[in-house]
């Protein structure tokens, strides 16, 4: 298993899923389990970044896989499975209306780094929390673009494929998202 704290690998590093997908389409449930195992971190992290709380992210991640399972029959391989799955995940996120606020301490921010001072760690965690919370307030397309580009390390082309946008739109949305994020956080800090 990969490092638990690592961010998701980009799509282009995902190995070909054609055989596993074909097995799923032939009715092999274990093959779908393998796809869930392979992509659950990416999907969960995407959902978490979108809603910034574990319970909703967990519900959404399950929903993504259920939708994917139901739709797998119609998957024809025009895009890679991972792009297709990301598309389902983003649509699930876009349609989701947050029902919960993040609860303090619902998940540990990160494993303690012994080399770091406690105060420094608290400050960093608080900063991360504020940024994540600000990301959830970005307009939806900007939010999706920023999450896919920054936290999933996808190329502009991959993000465009997932969102069904042009590359130019992806770049413009990302640029707006970054500027807006900075402005929101500066306003909160009273700058």
Of the candidates 186, 69, 93, the one whose C-alpha atom is nearest the C-alpha of residue 148 is: 93
Percentages (nearest 5) of helix, strand, coil residues in the chain: 70, 0, 30
The least CB distance from residue 149 to other proteins, in Å, is: 9
The least CB distance from residue 137 to other proteins, in Å, is: 13
The least CB distance from residue 69 to other proteins, in Å, is: 6
Footprint of other proteins (CB under 8 A): 1, 4-5, 29, 32-33, 36-37, 40-41, 44-45, 48-49, 54, 58, 61-62, 65-66, 69, 106-111, 124, 127-128, 131-132, 135, 146, 150-151, 168-169, 171-172, 174-183, 185
Report which DSSP code applies to 148: I
Rounded Cα distance, 158 and 9, in Å: 13
Which tokens sit at 45?
A: 């992290």
Measured in residues, the chain has a length of 191
The least CB distance from residue 8 to other proteins, in Å, is: 11
Report which DSSP code applies to 149: I
Residue 6 or 119 having the CB closest to other proteins: 6
Residue 78 or 187 having the CB closest to other proteins: 187
Q: Strand, helix or coil at 1?
A: coil
Residue 45 or 141 having the CB closest to other proteins: 45
């Amino acid at each position: 298993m990969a490092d638990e704290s690592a961010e998701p690998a980009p799509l282009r590093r995902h190995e070909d899923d054609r055989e596993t997908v074909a097995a799923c389409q032939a009715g092999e449930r274990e093959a779908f389990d393998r796809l869930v195992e392979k992509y659950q971190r990416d999907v969960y992290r995407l959902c978490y970044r979108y809603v910034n709380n574990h319970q909703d992210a967990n519900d959404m991640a399950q929903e993504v896989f259920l939708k994917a399972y139901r739709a797998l029959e119609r998957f024809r391989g025009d895009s890679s499975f991972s792009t297709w799955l990301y598309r389902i995940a983003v649509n699930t996120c876009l349609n989701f209306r947050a029902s919960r606020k993040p609860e303090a301490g619902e998940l540990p921010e990160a494993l303690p780094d012994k080399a770091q001072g406690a105060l420094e760690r608290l400050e960093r965690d608080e900063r991360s929390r504020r940024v994540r919370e600000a990301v959830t307030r970005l307009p939806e397309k900007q939010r999706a673009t920023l999450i896919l580009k920054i936290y999933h390390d996808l190329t502009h082309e991959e993000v465009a494929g997932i969102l069904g946008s042009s590359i130019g739109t992806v770049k413009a949305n990302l640029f707006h998202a970054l500027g807006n994020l900075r402005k929101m956080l500066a306003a909160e800090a009273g700058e």
